[in-house]
Amino acid sequence: MKKSLTQDDIIYFIVTDRFFGSHKTSAEPSDNSIHQGTLDGIIDKLDYLAELGVTAIWVTPVYENIDKAGSSEPYHYYWPKDFTRLDKRQIEGRHLPSSTDMKSFRKFVELCEKRGFKVVLDMVVNHCGYGAQSNFPDTWFNHNGQGDIKGELARLPDFNHDNPEVVDYFINNIQDWIIKGGVTNIRMDTVKHVEPRFWHFFKSQIRGEYPDVYLIGEVLLEGREHIPELLKYQNYHDFDSLFDFPLCSALRSCFIYDQSLKNNLARPRLHDNEESGVLDNDNPFYGGYRNSNQLVTLLDNHDLQQRIMSHARSKHQGKGAGLDWAIRVVKLALGAMFTFRGIPQLYYGTEIGLEGWKKEDDRDLRRDFPWDMIGADQHPVDDPPYHKAREIYHWTRDLIALRKSSAPLKYGTSFTLWSDDLVYIFLRISIDEVALVSIHNGYERMPESITLDLNRYSLSTRVKDLLRQGLEHWKKNQPLNISNNLIHIRMEAKSIDIYIS
């Protein structure tokens, strides 16, 4: 099995402490204490992840952390005090050794890979935990600095990567995690807060000696206007991938809050003065990403303002029809994510409609996974209270299976056929297959069909022939309505139709 991430993968992001462990506790509402979710607990739940169909597991940091900051324990493990060993609170000694040596994490990686899962480790080089600066020379830190790079993030002691000793320490530390800990994929935390000098050394030394280690950068910039800033991390600092926060923001804006598809996603490309959408930045010849197909796409995570279901519930209030609309728009957003270019990432619980909000802090965004609703078949149980979870779960599982089986959805070139305020229709074209995806964001059934004339588009004869040979709806098994080079599409409210060859 190739251990580094590719476009074949679907990433499942787990806040380890909030997932599962044999001694796991749970507090309602969620609090800032450690709930005893562990790496061993993730191994316990590999059957669930296999049934869902994901292929890669991203876990939060495993470094030894401080004990507490005020009333908060480091349940997220982003407050390191020792970067050279695991935190003993994350291992139980059941599936993994009790030792906090890096080799214990290697065992976790081996057990996951044996079951067919790649592993992404969350790493931190920007800061240490509150009060942990005494474990390092004082000259290693920025003092009284300002701005994203030299200033302290959330008052955490900020390492100065303009100091060659700091760079050397972390380059060697990362190498140790690769060699001793079996790390093949890295999610790097708080990238925009790290001095650029560090990335020069990283791509020279780590990238040079370990070219197969895959690096995803977390650069939390959400607007289309921020894409030029994001580009430098892929184009100049040589990150394999970035989280596509601008697309995440556009998907929420469109499907939850009903903004224009053509202004947010992609223009119809009929004339040069159209307003561009976020997907129009995919072309490197026009100042776009070096490789947009490697971007990690997402709907929510542990840092954003709300989980996607909470966004939907805030728009569609109440039970009954309000809940039904919320489920519908979440399914639409998931459908878009799994059919767009990039490598999809699910936040644990999104597949069952788990909710969460950023309030005075992030703890509600990081609720415990509700294992009581998961049955022996690894699906949400078939009880009325779990209607929401069951419907979203099966939709998500089916989308994952579709993407894994479809070359166009994994690798295909994207080609816009139609884009207006309510409708976005596009092709995904691979070497010998094609998929057509149609999205309707209106609240009523289309009053009439949209007609697409294949002669109008700059498509090869081969692609047109593939379309004329017929595509089939992924759920309904109905053929795409096409005759005389004309495609006719009519859709239900807030829906996505996917046709595959």
If one counts every other C-beta atom within 10 angstroms of the C-beta of residue 163, the result is 17
Q: What is the pTM of this model?
A: 0.97
Q: Is the pLDDT of residue 272 over 80?
A: no
- Among the ranges given (50-59, 111-120, 361-370), the one the predictor scored with the smallest mean pLDDT: 361-370
pLDDT for the residue 320: 62
Q: Choose among 262, 276, 315: nearest CA to 441.
A: 262
Q: Choose among 345, 299, 357, 343: nearest CA to 59.
A: 345
Tokens in use for 491?
């859709």
Write out pLDDT tens, residues 283-338: 777 778 889 999 999 999 999 999 999 999 988 876 567 899 999 999 999 999 99
Angle between helical axes of 102-114 and 164-179 (0-180°, round to 10): 50
If one counts every other C-beta atom within 10 angstroms of the C-beta of residue 229, the result is 12
**Can you tell me the distance from the alpha carbon of 169 to that of 174, in angstroms, rounded to the nearest whole number?**
9
DSSP reduced 3-state for 416: strand
pLDDT for the residue 286: 73
**Average pLDDT taken over every residue of the chain:** 94
Q: Is the pLDDT of residue 267 over 80?
A: no
Q: Is the pLDDT of residue 157 over 70?
A: yes
Q: Choose among 439, 499, 445, 444: nearest CA to 474.
A: 499
pLDDT for the residue 274: 61
Task: Write the Ramachandran bin of 162: left for phi over 0, alpha for psi from -120 to 50, otherwise beta.
Answer: alpha
If one counts every other C-beta atom within 10 angstroms of the C-beta of residue 148, the result is 11
Q: Which domains does the chain have, with CATH numbers?
A: 11-411 (3.20.20.80), 413-500 (2.60.40.1180)
Q: What percent of the chain has pLDDT over 90?
A: 87
Q: Choose among 398, 460, 413, 368: nearest CA to 28.
A: 368
Strand order in the sheet with 413-419: 413-419, 423-429, 434-440, 495-500, 472-473
**Can you tell me the distance from the alpha carbon of 83 to that of 62, in angstroms, rounded to the nearest whole number?**
9
Q: How confident is the model at residue 275 (pLDDT cuts 50, 70, 90)?
A: low
Write out pLDDT tens, residues 372-392: 999 999 999 999 989 999 999
Task: Write the Ramachandran bin of 135: left for phi over 0, alpha for psi from -120 to 50, otherwise beta.
Answer: alpha
DSSP reduced 3-state for 57: strand
pLDDT for the residue 500: 97
Q: Is the pLDDT of residue 474 over 80?
A: yes
Residues with Cβ within 8 Å of 66's Cβ and at least 6 positions away in sequence, in order, are: 74, 79, 80, 81, 129, 130, 131, 132
Write out pLDDT tens, residues 175-234: 999 999 999 999 999 999 999 999 999 999 999 999 999 999 999 999 988 999 999 898
Tokens in use for 266?
């992609």
Mean pLDDT of 464-471: 93
DSSP reduced 3-state for 31: coil
pLDDT for the residue 18: 96
